[in-house]
Structure 1
Amino acid sequence: MNDNIESLRARHAALCEQEPKLRIRERAQRLGATEAELVAANCGVESIELTGTAQALFRELGTLGQVMALSRNDWCVHERHGAYTNIQAEGPVGIVLGPDIDLRMFFGSWKYFYAVIENGRHSIQFFDKTGEAVHKVYRTEHSDAAAWDAFVAKLGVPEKTAVMREAIAPAIEAENADDAAALRAHWLSLKDTHDFFTMLRQFKVSRMGALRAAGEDLAQRVAGDAVESTLARAAETELPIMCFVANRGIVQIHTGPVKKLVRTGPWYNVLDEKFNLHLNTEAVASSWVVNKPTSDGWVTSLELYDANGEMIVQFFGERKPGKPELPAWRELMTSLCAQPLAA
């Protein structure tokens, strides 16, 4: 094991010398390793393994004060500043319902946890059993540094366990609906947007398969630049939105306005004081306006998918259960559509 770690460190050092601007996720991919393996081996970082379950660690995050929460997938990074409050993390599913940090955690695959220092920057990092990063918490100038150090001292262990990659079985789902009419009828009977995932499991169909089967009044493909025009319009009109970014272990949500929009190469960015979004628009294979009935009226979203049919990011107008959709958001979504939406 030590020989493997030393070999990984040597290969990592050579890569950093050749391409010093690569981020750790990119370096792991180049080396045929996982990000957790690089962190555990102290490749470009200093790390301390944290003991306990993900749930137990999450219940302690509220002690750290103001931090930056980061969740991402391959094509989109969601960063939100605030404090972890109203933490509910007892079973396989957890939630954080603070006014700034808003999360849904699915702990089933979470396995490796570290306190990390990289270029002087402190973070708490959570990885799943494949070695992929699920969620990171960064210390900022507004964090409680003493509480942070106490957190690491309390939960850190002197020896690290080896990172052993485990496969996660993919969901069994069809790319096309077997009975499009039945799926559409079920879709039209929805009372809550959260019931959509249950519908997909019931029909054993992928999300993209459901969108293709539903009919254009329920799911309509729109122009590839829809995300840029949507965010630009939201910024211009101060329209508050909700932005969801997910991986298999977590969903991170921003609710509120967006202001500063900046294009940097393939990345389209929101660079606001409390919220940053980094979206690789070159990875967007299709964009959809999705229309769902609820007990509060119709709710529309803009959803972006990659070439494999995986969702990259999802946008709604700001809303809460019991409140109808913002008319300005509905108008914005319908303006993207060539065909009328069900209403």
Structure 2
Amino acid sequence: MTQTATATAPAPATAARPLRPIEAAAALGLSEGEWLTRHAPATLGVRVTRLGAPAGAILNALTPLGTVMALTRNPACVHEKDGVYDHVDIGPGMGLVVNHDIDLRLFMRHWASAYAVETPEADGGVRHSLQFFNRHGIAVHKIFARPVTDMDAWAALVKRFAADFETVSAEPKPYPASVRPDAEIDVAALRAGWAKLQDVHDFFGLLRKLKAHRQQALRLAGAPYARPVAKTAIRALLEDCAARAIPIMCFVGNEACIQIHSGPVHNVKVMGPWLNVLDKGFNLHLREDMIAAAYAVWKPQADAAVHSIELFADDGSLIAQFFGERKPGRPEIPAWAERVQAIASL
């Protein structure tokens, strides 16, 4: 028999902006998963159903829902994209969702629990979501219903995977692995290997071989491979791409999921510390004040080189990457390359 956590009473209304779940959880000293499964049902009227199947099985069952919104985030950036979960390929360790709208790279060992969530809204409606957490209770991916979503298919999916209710029990996060001292990195080998890259994906192998941290490698390699740029450069770049109709690729991720937008950006807005793209079907919310370092990066390939802008947090973690839109075997857009080169030369 399955059980669902439900609320006893909604929280009182307040004139202040309601806290986002991650903020509400932090205020109580909880992970977001703990807050959702232990606190939200009893205080906010949230209905939570545990989904007992492995995450891969749930992701493979999403196509009948039609258009939904995929959300992937890290502490400094939120990436939201509307589309259909089709062309899903989930293996024991890795997974892919590959189409123009929903484009994901999945690292399945970090997906620990899943819940269907019904959140009351101020207008009397209910917001439906599927939320996935790692073993530390951190949300790694979320899926939200849209007005065009097939809610009968949604209900059938929840019924199919519903399981006995369990709250999230978050394991303590381990200390991050220490970065090797610069003196232990073979910079000559780094630059030589970088010059011989045949595909941008080969860069990960180069870092593993040399046991170098990503930001450390960018800093040590230097020009022409990587050059530090102003932390504010991404705002001007996005505004320029919007004005000149330069389509981009935007990668945002965490340890479990990387989510990609490919296409133009139109409506770039700054709201306090947030740099936003507010387009139909694609929203990006980037905390500019959390960018500790930014680099213009050049990587050779067998067919054509690529240029990117990479943003890092103060702990060295990657916040986001921006490329000009391209396809395998096709060179990047010249206007993008010229814009990145111009930023790098400042």
Q: 1:63-142 to 2 correspondence within 5 Å?
A: 63-119=64-120, 120-142=126-148
Q: 1:1-343 to 2 correspondence within 5 Å?
A: 21-43=18-40, 44=44, 45-119=46-120, 120-167=126-173, 170-171=176-177, 173-174=179-180, 176=182, 178-338=185-345
Task: Tell me the distance in 1 between the aligned counterparts of 2:19 and 2:181.
Answer: 35
How far 1:90 sits from its partner (Å)?
2.6
Cα distance change of structure 1 residues 167 and 308 upon mapping to structure 2, 3 Å threshold: closer
Letter in 2 for 1:145: M
Aligned 8 A contact 1:172 1:204 in 2: no
Deviations 1:150-189 (A, max 9, x none): 0001111243255242545744642535211111111111
Letter in 2 for 1:321: P
Letter in 2 for 1:21: P
Aligned 8 A contact 2:73 2:254 in 1: yes
How far 1:232 sits from its partner (Å)?
0.9
TM-score, normalised relative to structure 1 = 0.91
Task: Tell me the distance in 2 between the aligned counterparts of 1:175 and 1:57.
Answer: 42
- Runs of 4+, deviation exceeding 4 Å: 16-20
Aligned 8 A contact 2:298 2:306 in 1: yes
Aligned 8 A contact 1:190 1:292 in 2: yes
Task: Tell me the distance in 1 between the aligned counterparts of 2:165 and 2:255.
Answer: 28
Bigger drift between 321-330 and 174-183 goes to: 174-183
Aligned 8 A contact 2:290 2:313 in 1: yes
Aligned-pair identity in percent equals 42
Q: Indicate the SS of the match to 2:146.
A: strand
Deviations 1:224-262 (A, max 9, x none): 221011101110111110000010100000000000011
TM-score, normalised relative to structure 2 = 0.90
Task: Tell me the distance in 1 between the aligned counterparts of 2:321 and 2:54.
Answer: 29
Cα distance change of structure 1 residues 329 and 90 upon mapping to structure 2, 3 Å threshold: same
How far 1:306 sits from its partner (Å)?
1.2
Letter in 2 for 1:25: I
> For the aligned residues, what is the CA RMSD?
2.2
Q: How many aligned residue pairs are there?
A: 330
Task: Tell me the distance in 2 between the aligned counterparts of 1:34 and 1:164.
Answer: 7
Partner residue in 1 for 2:123: none
Task: Tell me the distance in 2 between the aligned counterparts of 1:164 and 1:311.
Answer: 23
Task: Tell me the distance in 2 between the aligned counterparts of 1:266 and 1:169.
Answer: 28
Task: Tell me the distance in 2 between the aligned counterparts of 1:23 and 1:121.
Answer: 14
List alignment gaps of at least 5 residues for structure 1. none
List alignment gaps of at least 5 residues for structure 2. 121-125
